[in-house]
Amino acid sequence: MEKQAFNPYLPSWEYTPDCEPYVFGDRVYSYGSHDRFNSQMYCLNDYVCYSAPVDNLADWRYEGVIYRAVDDPLNREGKACLYAPDVTQGPDGRYYLYYCLDKYQIVSVAVCDTPAGKYEFYGYVHHKDGINLGERDGDEPQFDPAVLTEGDVTYLYGGFCSRGDASRSGTRVTVLDKDMLTIIEEPVTILASEPYAEDPEYKKHAFFEASSIRKAGDTYYFVYSSILMYELCYATSKSPTKDFVYRGTIIANNDMNIDTYKRADMPAYYGGNNHGSIVQIKDKWYVFYHRHTNGSNFSRQDCIEEIKILDDGTIPQVEMTSCGANGGPLRGKGEYPAYIACNLFCDEESVYTGWEWMGAQFPKITQDGRDGDEEQGYICNMKDGATAGFKYFDCRGIKSITLKVRGYGSGAFEIMTEIDGDVLAVLPVKYTNVWESYSSDIDIPDGINAIYIKYTGQGSVSLASFELA
């Protein structure tokens, strides 16, 4: 059968957050930072790139390592890591990679003749007097650069503004010359930081980090992560350097404020910082964002959802799904891996991931082995009340369900098509240290359905997959 598109859209053992998607030619390229599985900090691996044909977003190809942390002259010993990058095609047709090292608050640039070839260090963004942006008196520290090239000029955006930090004015834009390095227009603030925000609604969603810039028609869309961290918000303007107005939230990586299948204030996944952007692929628009796995902030994975840009320029918030860029629901037959869960929660609600550090444990998507091992992900720590949700499936004539389970538990899994819906099947499970399959008859209504799998009982179990037949 034709391969379907899932979330996350890359292999389950790949951790590439902070995605910046671009269409170059007949392919869409996914650029981002590169987390390490089971790490204790962000972005420890080198930059890699994946690409897919514009007419098949299920067929992602690994392009390899495109830039190493030690390629920057400031980092020959590899003691700094590569934070979130962005890419633009310059006036000369070459591709320019903009990034910040975690220990330096300046913007570095690398260049390549092709979108996903080996980038080579090019230089640092600097003022006309040669002083690097971020090091001159009056400059603000650089972080998460975003770039957009129009004609012979490139607009560079960036900043990091924590809630209450009055030392940062907000996100700023700087205009660069056609050499892609030299500043020809001084930085100006386009969105205020939280202490200086005047609009009450924007103040609740003020700029934090994760700058990204796109243009749709005659409108510039500035996408960013707000002070709430888990959401990607956006502001629009008819100018790339002024008059940006806050418009709303595109997506939250815990589905906060979505009330179509749950309470608006219920977190349906364990959220955390977010970073991504929007892109037009053929005649559709998508948002790329990342989710958190392994019960921490440091093993993040990219996901995709289709969005709509309405006639008034607004983008309604979309929910997280398992089917992502599939173009519709997944087939309601066959075996599906548990790591494509778009909802994951337990009775004790938490907006953010990482609260096991305080002594609790919640269900989490993880993998066996070490970073780089091609081990398929699964859900572990499913204790009493833990629920995994998968959306959506085109169900026709489903009469049985099979779960693949292991772990130290004695209880049962309940199957539903709604979070608080009727239980359609109960599958008793018992302790096993290897993956075991458990099956049950089930009568799932024909139509577009979610699948919710809830564990009740003692101990802790893991879920590898489920099969509909």
Among all residues, which ones are annotated catalytic? 18, 209
Which tokens sit at 242?
Answer: 């002024």
Question: ω into residue 316 within 30 of 0, thus cis?
Answer: no
Residue with tokens 């030392």: 167
User: What number of other Cβ atoms are within 10 A of residue 321's Cβ?
Assistant: 25
CA distance 285 to 307: 6
CA distance 172 to 187: 6
The C-alpha torsion from 129 through 130 and 135 to 139, rounded to 10°, is 50
H helical segments located in 245-315:
none
Question: ω into residue 85 within 30 of 0, thus cis?
Answer: no
| Sign of the torsion formed by the C-alpha atoms of 238, 239, 240 and 241 | negative
CA distance 179 to 66: 21
Residue 337 CA: distances (Å) to CA of 286, 404, 437:
24, 9, 13
DSSP 174: E
List 229's β-bridge partners, or say none: none
Residue 466 CA: distances (Å) to CA of 96, 270, 390:
43, 22, 10
CA distance 88 to 71: 19
DSSP 4: P
Q: Which helix H or strand E contains 204, and what residues bound it? A: helix 200-204
Residue 406 CA: distances (Å) to CA of 13, 212, 341, 364, 436:
20, 42, 18, 15, 6
CA distance 16 to 246: 28
